[in-house]
Structure 1
């Protein structure tokens, strides 16, 4: 197909396709003339993945190039999932500047809490995982706010997260070829957070309403 047809198939403007090609995100088409090239289904799939990474995943062009390189080099489903998971932004709390000595103490305590929680869940994750760092940052902020959180309660949320992760991987297991798997993984990993948060809030709204109705019934 010509570049104009590729644009129609994917919804990506011709100018953007040329830009992605210049940036090394999209392979060149097969040259048919000095200024013409033919594109195939592999270009359609790659463009869909680029769109998923940059729009749903919110990645920069540089980060998208890195994850595409990692996906291309991955030799397994797990390798593809890891490459995309590590490339997506990690939700972390932004800590305000404070006393350096207290910050160091708070960081050490949060690191210990994160390590204890991960050990309690028996999760096999490397210490340099960006998600371990993100968890440490959030736990540090909870300490700063004196939220009085308990690790056993966080572990209950961890069990829910484990079940969700299993569902995510079961969905990804249905995709054997790398481009389709990568695209599906971006959708699952990038959208699962907002969807789960909305479902959680809807469930909370439901529970609040039920409790209010129960109290009103008890008072009447």
Structure 2
């Protein structure tokens, strides 16, 4: 297909396709004339992945280039998923420079709690994972607000997260080739967070309304109605 058709198939403007090609994100097409090239399905798939990384994942061009390189080098499903997972932004706001020294002890305590939680769950997590510090920072901020999230309380949440992760990997197992797998990984990792949060809020809304109904109708037991 010509570049105009590639643009129509993917919804990516021709100018952006040329830019991605110059930046090394998209392989060149097969030359058919001095200034013409043919593109194939692999280019369609790569453009979809680039769009997923930059739009859904919010990555810069430079970060996208690094992820694509890691995906291309990955020889296993786990390698592809790890490249995507580590590339996406950690969903915690970094502490300001002024907070760093003051909160050093609180951060160390939170990191110790995360380590205990990982051990309790028997999770195989490398010390270099950016998500360890991300969770520690989240716990530190919650405790600043006097929210009691100790490891023993977090285990129930971690078990739910473990079940969700297994579902995610079962979805990923259906995709054999790396580009399709990488695209699905970005969608799952970047979009499942907001979706799961909305499901959680809907469930909370349901529970609040059920509690209100129970207060208004005390003869109804807490087990009435669907769960």
Please state which band the TM-score falls in when normalised by the shorter chain.
Answer: over 0.9
Q: Match for residue 223 of structure 2?
A: none
CA distance in 2, matches of 1:47, 1:99: 40
Q: Could you tell me whether the CA contact under 8 Å between 1:71 and 1:80 is conserved in 2?
A: yes
Where 2:103 maps in the other structure, the secondary structure is helix
CA distance in 1, matches of 2:21, 2:59: 17
CA distance in 2, matches of 1:141, 1:156: 20
Q: By how many angstroms is 1:146 displaced?
A: 2.5
Unpaired segments ≥5 residues, structure 2: 220-227
Q: Match for residue 144 of structure 1?
A: 144
Q: By how many angstroms is 1:56 displaced?
A: 1.1
Deviations 1:41-64 (A, max 9, x none): 100000010011111111111111
Q: Match for residue 192 of structure 1?
A: 192
CA distance in 2, matches of 1:164, 1:52: 21
Q: Could you tell me whether the CA contact under 8 Å between 2:113 and 2:150 is conserved in 1?
A: no
Q: Match for residue 88 of structure 1?
A: 88
Correspondences of 1:50-199 after superposition (within 5 Å) = 50-96=50-96, 97-98=98-99, 100=101, 102-199=102-199
Q: Could you tell me whether the CA contact under 8 Å between 1:81 and 1:185 is conserved in 2?
A: yes
Q: By how many angstroms is 1:105 displaced?
A: 1.1
CA distance in 2, matches of 1:105, 1:8: 55
Q: By how many angstroms is 1:68 displaced?
A: 0.4
Sort the Cα spacing of 1:98 and 1:51 in 2 relative to 1 into closer, same or farther, 3 A.
closer
CA distance in 2, matches of 1:34, 1:2: 14
CA distance in 1, matches of 2:206, 2:196: 15
CA distance in 2, matches of 1:98, 1:68: 35
Q: By how many angstroms is 1:99 displaced?
A: 7.4
Where 2:27 maps in the other structure, the secondary structure is coil
Pick which of 159-168 and 181-190 moved more.
181-190
CA distance in 1, matches of 2:24, 2:165: 32
Pick which of 48-57 and 85-94 moved more.
85-94
Q: Could you tell me whether the CA contact under 8 Å between 1:54 and 1:64 is conserved in 2?
A: yes
CA distance in 2, matches of 1:98, 1:27: 45
Q: By how many angstroms is 1:65 displaced?
A: 0.6
Q: Could you tell me whether the CA contact under 8 Å between 1:95 and 1:141 is conserved in 2?
A: no
CA distance in 1, matches of 2:50, 2:162: 28
Deviations 1:59-98 (A, max 9, x none): 1111111100000000001100000011111111443534
Count residues with an aligned counterpart.
Answer: 219
CA distance in 2, matches of 1:156, 1:115: 16
Q: By how many angstroms is 1:28 displaced?
A: 0.5
Unpaired segments ≥5 residues, structure 1: none
